Amino acid sequence: MKNKLLLFGLAAAMLGAAAGIHYRVPIVIAAVCVGLAVFCAVTGVQMIMTRKAVIATSESFDPHREYHTGLSAQFWGVLFLMFSVPVGAFGVLYWLYGDNPPADIIERMARSALVSGLIIVTVGVGLGLYGLTRVLPGKVAFVETKISPFERGITAVYLCTVSALVVAAGLVRMLAPGTLTRMRDVAIAWALELVK
């Protein structure tokens, strides 16, 4: 009986959240986002502390799972923590400003070389950490998913390469803000010369 009540309460809460999101009730959207952020942060800390992570790989009721331990599990924990920050910030901003966040805040973030560079670097680091979780744990983590070592290796090399490029772009954005703009302008001029 207790489990049925718990499931009913969970279903009612999810239905209420879905209705709040559909009708754009700011407090409901904020509560869902902040709740998800807190869940992700607590789960991430737990993964880091216990050095164990069980990652569902689909949305079904009985998904295949990856079983990570050690450094790979800690990387998953860091990824969960990284995900919790923008989701929680979005929830708080949506509660404060609704659908129309102040344009000057977003413009200042985009124009600030330090803030935009840090965001770019963080995305790059996240890509690299995910790429490393493909190869660090070995075959044991992927028994249920049956992802081949070749596929995981190719994915890791690709993601780590993209990660390095994104992190480099973020560092260039922070340390020499005008360089990326000049590189873009040179690339456009070069492409136009090729077309002529």
pLDDT digits (tens, 9 = 90+) for 46-67: 999 999 999 988 776 677 889 9
| Model confidence band, residue 94 (pLDDT cutoffs 50, 70, 90) | confident
Rounded to whole angstroms, the Cα distance separating 68 from 54 reads 6
Residues 112-129, mean pLDDT to the nearest whole number: 94
In the DSSP assignment, the letter for residue 55 is: E
What pLDDT sits at residue 11?
72
Q: Are 141 and 66 in contact (CB under 8 A)?
A: yes
What pLDDT sits at residue 4?
66
At position 186, the amino acid (one-letter code) is: V
> Domain residues of the chain, as ranges?
25-101, 102-196
Q: Are 51 and 69 in contact (CB under 8 A)?
A: yes
What share of the chain in percent tops pLDDT 70? 94
Residue 124 has pLDDT above 70, yes or no: yes
Look-up of token digits 């409901």: 28
CB atoms within 10 A of CB 166: 19
Q: Are 63 and 113 in contact (CB under 8 A)?
A: no
| Model confidence band, residue 10 (pLDDT cutoffs 50, 70, 90) | low
Helix (H) or strand (E) holding 67: strand 65-69
Rounded to whole angstroms, the Cα distance separating 118 from 75 reads 19
Candidates 105, 95, 113; CA nearest to 30 is 95
Residues 157-170, mean pLDDT to the nearest whole number: 96
Residue 98 has pLDDT above 90, yes or no: no
Helix (H) or strand (E) holding 151: helix 149-175
Q: What is the pTM of this model?
A: 0.82
Q: Are 64 and 144 in contact (CB under 8 A)?
A: yes
Furthest C-alpha separation in the chain = 76
Q: Are 137 and 72 in contact (CB under 8 A)?
A: yes
Residue 103 has pLDDT above 80, yes or no: no
What pLDDT sits at residue 108?
84
Look-up of token digits 């992190």: 167
